[in-house]
Amino acid sequence: MGLQIGMVYVLLAIGLSLIFGLMTVVNFAHGAFFMFGAYMGLFMMGLTGNFWLSLVFVPVATGLLGLVVERFTIRPLYGRDLNYPLLLTFGLSFVMVEGVRLIWGTIGHAFDTPSVLVGPVNLGFAMFPRYRLFVIVATAIIVFLLWLFLEKTNLGLVIRAGTRDSIIVRVLGVDISRIWFIVFGIGTALAGIAGLLAAPMRGVHPDMGISMLIECFVVVVVGGMGSLRGAVIAGILIGEVVSITTLFYPMMGEVAIFIFMAIVLLIRPSGLFGEVGLLE
């Protein structure tokens, strides 16, 4: 259970870290994109009844919404104080949540697990829920494909260079605004697919992104702001912390992650893999 929860954290935190690492934008609407992805999955399931089609549709729809948001709301704020995009995305999250309430209502919806993924699977040493195993494997594949994209393609090279020094990238003649545009779309697409994968386990409701956003920021801070490797490791660690704490003391499940964050920051103030002075 801890690994499965951790994998959802990983998808969310990677998207958030990717956006922050390159654009230095603290995206407070990330939880709303997570929620939007779940509702887009619900819409596609109601339309076609095909979960696998939803897996393709959701990241595309969420990513396209992210591209529109970046182009028409966030881009005009580049070069200003860090608080401007922070406040804008904070307000945008309320707009998205209220928009969903107007369309789908305030009552939550159940999201049925695909029939092929229902039931346990025998791992040899234990029985494990088939859908939770699917979430773990799917997330691992997505993370691997993202790693290949960032490490083995020219565009990935530019993105990694931009996270280290965007000024030098501009000097070399790269249109950094186009790179920001792409990265924001990728980050929001990851949030959307995380929402879809979490929907059968958590249900779908307008406020589902709020608690996940808080936990996602904890993951990003523990792993180190802007560090993709840190987001993966911290996501898995915090998933295990939540799972183990909930098993022995359910009332402390949500508090445990903040205690864990405090301990990590006392030892390493910049997080496990964070760079000192990234916000300066």
- Whether 212 is covered by a domain: the verdict is yes
Name the domain count of the chain. 1
- Whether 275 is covered by a domain: the verdict is no
Q: Give me the domain span that covers residue 203.
A: 2-110+125-267
Q: pLDDT at residue 251 above 90?
A: no
- Whether 273 is covered by a domain: the verdict is no
- Note the pLDDT of residue 16: 87
For the segment 235-261, the average pLDDT, to the nearest whole number, is: 85
For the segment 96-115, the average pLDDT, to the nearest whole number, is: 90
Residue 148 or 228, more confident: 148
Q: Which residue has the tokens 């006392």?
A: 266
For the segment 136-163, the average pLDDT, to the nearest whole number, is: 86
- Whether 176 is covered by a domain: the verdict is yes
Q: State the pTM of this model.
A: 0.91
- Note the pLDDT of residue 275: 64
- Whether 277 is covered by a domain: the verdict is no
Residue 249 or 263, more confident: 263
- Whether 118 is covered by a domain: the verdict is no
Output the domain CATH number for residue 85: 1.10.3470
Q: What is the pLDDT of residues 38-91, one digit of tens each?
A: 999 999 998 998 999 999 999 999 999 999 999 999 988 877 777 888 889 999
- Whether 220 is covered by a domain: the verdict is yes
- Whether 62 is covered by a domain: the verdict is yes
Residue 210 or 62, more confident: 62
